[in-house]
């Protein structure tokens, strides 16, 4: 039987780990005809691909340049901003942008938002009904990260569902299946609306600075250098987009893991000191980043396979995070696992800017949620998994909340 990775298969989408194991063992550098890409699944190969100078994160430019003129015209406004996202830039552009953005993330910056995160967690958990069937994604795991990153950036809370709609439109272009109708036009509308919102906010913050990350980005300086207006808008868009999409998936996946592993759930709820190691295990075991995409910039070999310049590569983060060569008993969840050198937030110069915020949100939200609803369990309806090569999460997670306990 031919070994093939077919991510559009609903069975694979719900549980890709059996095929990931086969790929690691039988074909760790796998050529996928449907994806027209190489698929890497072993820990060492994925780690090298994420950090190696022979691989470029700039996958959008070659894709855009190969499109028909009419499609390129539709996407011109999208590319204006996405081409400035740090995650798609190579040095020296990446080095300059990262250095400037890092000046806004001073030590303690993210922890300074802890009181806001705690109060938002308490408010949202208190709003969940006891002994009812709810969609945990819609009712909690979308709302919390969106409200937090909006608060961090200073986006008015009344725009939450507008922001979510624009973000979904951009996500369809970046992450989702190719057959999504009108995804290029939707991405254009989403990018234009989000960029217009940030241009207005930036103008207001220039006139009246506030205690938020957007004000810090405006003030960011490195000697005589600063972010241009388009770079400010693009960076704010990236932080807003990544700051809630990834954390939504982390919270959703972790919640399902805890409900499916009652022994780990009991240990997690009973011992809050395990929160930090538990979050790292949630990030490893079924993390929010299914893969990261790269383009070969210098021809080289991996496991005896020749990767030519221009070839697209999917470095499968979640496959690497279950590699038995790196993680003993990798197919089992252990919230006390140490060390835990998972690759979920990337490697090298492209290590995720928002990792500190995502970890803090999860450390505060998940213990509180499961102490409030100690009997919460999956409902009869199955989860609906995202159709995405890049993101790993659910668009719906039906649960029965059970009784509500005093926290």
pLDDT confidence of residue 176: 67
pLDDT confidence of residue 213: 94
Spell out a b/e string for 153-189, using b for 16 or more CB atoms within 10 Å of the CB, else e.
bbbeeeebeebbebbebbbbbbbbeeeeeebbebbbb
Over its length of 407 residues, how does the chain's per-residue pLDDT go in tens digits?
578 898 889 999 999 999 999 999 999 999 999 899 999 999 999 999 999 999 999 999 888 998 999 999 999 999 999 999 999 999 999 999 999 999 888 778 899 999 999 999 999 999 999 999 999 999 999 999 999 999 999 999 999 999 989 998 998 888 865 566 788 999 999 999 999 999 999 999 999 999 999 999 999 998 889 999 999 999 999 999 988 999 999 999 999 999 999 999 999 999 989 999 999 999 999 999 999 999 999 999 999 999 999 999 999 999 999 999 999 999 999 999 999 999 999 999 999 999 999 999 999 999 999 999 999 999 999 999 998 999 999 999 999 999 999 98
E strands within 251-299? 292-296
The class that CATH gives domain 10-400 is mainly alpha
Within 154-226, where are the H helices? 160-174, 183-207, 213-219
Q: How many other CB atoms are there within 10 angstroms of residue 103's CB atom?
A: 15
pLDDT confidence of residue 174: 86
85 neighbors 59 (Cβ within 8 angstroms): no
- Distance, CA of 241 to CA of 236 (rounded, Å): 8
pLDDT confidence of residue 218: 96
């Amino acid at each position: 039987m031919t070994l093939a990775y077919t991510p559009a298969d609903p069975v694979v989408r719900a549980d890709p780990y059996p095929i990931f194991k086969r790929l690691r063992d039988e074909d760790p550098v796998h050529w996928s005809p449907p994806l027209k890409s190489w698929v890497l699944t072993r820990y060492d190969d994925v780690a090298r691909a994420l950090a190696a100078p022979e691989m470029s994160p700039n996958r959008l430019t070659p894709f855009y340049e190969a499109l028909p003129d009419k499609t390129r015209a539709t996407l011109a406004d999208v590319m204006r901003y996405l081409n400035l996202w740090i995650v798609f830039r190579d040095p020296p552009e990446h080095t300059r942008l990262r250095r400037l953005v890092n000046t806004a993330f001073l030590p303690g910056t993210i922890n300074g938002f802890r009181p806001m995160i705690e109060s938002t967690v308490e408010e949202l958990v208190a709003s969940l009904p006891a002994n009812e069937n709810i969609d945990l994604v819609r009712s909690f795991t979308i709302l919390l990260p969106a409200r937090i990153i909006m608060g961090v950036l200073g986006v008015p809370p009344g725009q939450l569902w507008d922001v979510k709609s624009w973000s979904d439109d951009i996500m369809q272009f970046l992450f989702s299946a190719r057959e999504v109708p009108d995804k290029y036009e939707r991405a254009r509308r989403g990018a234009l609306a989000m960029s217009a919102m940030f241009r207005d906010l930036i103008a207001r913050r220039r006139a009246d600075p506030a205690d938020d990350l957007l004000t810090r980005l405006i003030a960011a300086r490195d000697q005589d250098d600063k972010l241009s207006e388009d770079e400010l808008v693009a960076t704010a868009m990236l932080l807003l987009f990544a700051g809630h999409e990834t954390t939504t998936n982390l919270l959703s996946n972790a919640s399902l893991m805890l409900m499916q592993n009652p022994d780990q759930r009991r240990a997690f709820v009973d011992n809050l000191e395990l929160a930090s190691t538990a979050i790292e295990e949630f990030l490893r075991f079924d993390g929010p980043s299914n893969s990261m995409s790269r383009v070969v910039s210098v021809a080289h070999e991996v496991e005896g396979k020749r990767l030519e310049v221009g070839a697209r590569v999917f470095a499968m983060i979640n496959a690497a995070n279950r590699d038995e060569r790196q993680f003993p008993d990798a197919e089992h969840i252990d919230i006390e696992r140490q060390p835990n050198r998972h690759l979920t937030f990337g490697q090298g110069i492209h290590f995720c800017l928002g990792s500190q915020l995502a970890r803090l949100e999860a450390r505060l939200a998940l213990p509180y949620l499961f102490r409030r609803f100690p009997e919460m369990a999956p409902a009869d309806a199955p989860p609906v998994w995202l159709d995405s090569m890049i993101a790993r999460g659910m668009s719906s997670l039906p649960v029965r909340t059970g009784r509500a306990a005093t926290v």
